[in-house]
Amino acid sequence: MDDLPDTQIRVSKAAPDDRSSRIESHDFGQALDIPFDQLDIVAVVLRLDEPELAYLAASVCRSLEDDQTVFAVPAIPENGLSEASTVAFTALVDAAGTTVPYDLGRIRDSFADAFSDESQQEVLDTTGSVMIDWVEDVFEALRDPLTVPLNCADAHALLQDGGVSLLYRGWGCRDNLPDVLLQDAAAHRVCDGNRSSADGGFGFLRFGEPFTLREFEAVEQHAESVFRPEGVDSEQWLMSGQSSLALGDNCWLAFLLTGIDAKSLPFLQDRCAK
């Protein structure tokens, strides 16, 4: 598929008392030179401050075709979700293929070393940057020729029905592989949840040109030993990699666990218990 145009889609915010739909879902595609139905992969990124935003995002997800891979990437407020927003989040999960929540409270802890004053704006800025980094990673993993390729049919099948998924992100270098890389990824998770409930995994490793296949396999095997629950089939457990001269001896891992029990998410636990 050709590269996407550098185009922003802007949606005006409705008045507070306006409960009508802010925009028809098909109108989102009008800002692109490529119609939505010609896109292989779509990521819908949002802040879930208001339930209406989740319903709008769910409407966009439902407007897409069954053979498209659709991600919902919501930022969850630090004070959790209201009852109305919880219902809206569930609707978003049902509409998207894979939903990757970014819990701002978890990110404040995971990325504390990145903040100078831990202001709300810094947390939001860091969350936005982390979101875009991962979206770029997954688009590259599913679209571009890779140094360590994967079965794209299996990848799309996994992510078209990934449900709620947990993301782990970490840095490492050749001198401390694979343990420190996986420890860093676990420490820099973007949301908590019961990872033993996962039904699949999708990993993407960026590494420098000096890396060898043996080193990649060491990371792959260690990730499997750390993250893979018993009983997950090999078709549901995928990992690929891409080399980059700029990374040198460094490497970067993004690992997604799919099919997580939504009731284990901290921002849903209190609601689900009622």
pLDDT score of 156: 94
Over residues 117-160, the pLDDT tens digits come to: 767 888 888 899 999 999 999 999 998 789 999 999 999 999 99
Q: Which fold has domain 167-258?
A: 60s Ribosomal Protein L30; Chain: A; (3.30.1330)
CATH classification number, 35-147, choose in 3.40.50.1440, 3.10.290.10, 3.10.450.50, 3.40.718.10: 3.40.50.1440
Question: Where does the pLDDT of residue 38 fall: very low under 50, low under 70, confident under 90, or very high at 90 and above?
Answer: confident
Written as one letter, the residue type at 226 is V
pLDDT at 28: 44
pLDDT digits (tens, 9 = 90+) for 85-95: 999 999 999 99
pLDDT at 235: 87
Give the closest residue to 256 by CA, choosing from 187, 206, 190, 208.
190
pLDDT score, position 82: 92
pLDDT of residue 209: 84
Predicted pLDDT of residue 99 = 98
pLDDT of residue 61: 94
| 34: its two tokens | 């490529």
Q: Around Cβ 245, how many Cβ atoms within 10 Å?
A: 8
One fold for 35-147 and 167-258: no
DSSP secondary structure of 181-216: HHHHHHHT-SS---GGG--EEEEEEEEETT--HHHH
Q: Classify residue 268 as left (phi > 0), alpha (psi -120 to 50) or beta.
A: alpha
Average pLDDT over residues 55-75: 94
Residue 154 has phi, psi (to 5 degrees) of -65, -40
CB neighbours of 251 closer than 8 A, spacing ≥ 6? 171, 172, 173, 174, 177, 181, 205, 206, 207, 208, 211, 219
Average pLDDT over residues 180-187: 96
Cβ pair 202, 256 in contact under 8 A: yes
Give 230-251 pLDDT, tens digit per residue: 999 988 999 999 998 899 999 9
Percent of the chain with pLDDT over 90: 68
Q: What is the mean pLDDT of residues 71-77?
A: 96
Give residue-wise pLDDT tens across range 1-37.
333 333 333 333 333 333 333 334 344 444 455 566 6
Residues 6+ apart with CB under 8 A from 267: 76, 80, 81, 101, 103, 105
The yes-or-no verdict on residue 264 having pLDDT over 50 is yes
Domain ranges for the chain? 35-147, 167-258
Amino acid at position 262, single letter: A
pLDDT of residue 6: 33
Crossing angle (nearest 10°) for helices 179-187 and 213-227: 50
Two tokens, residue 117: 């004053």
- Give the global pTM: 0.84
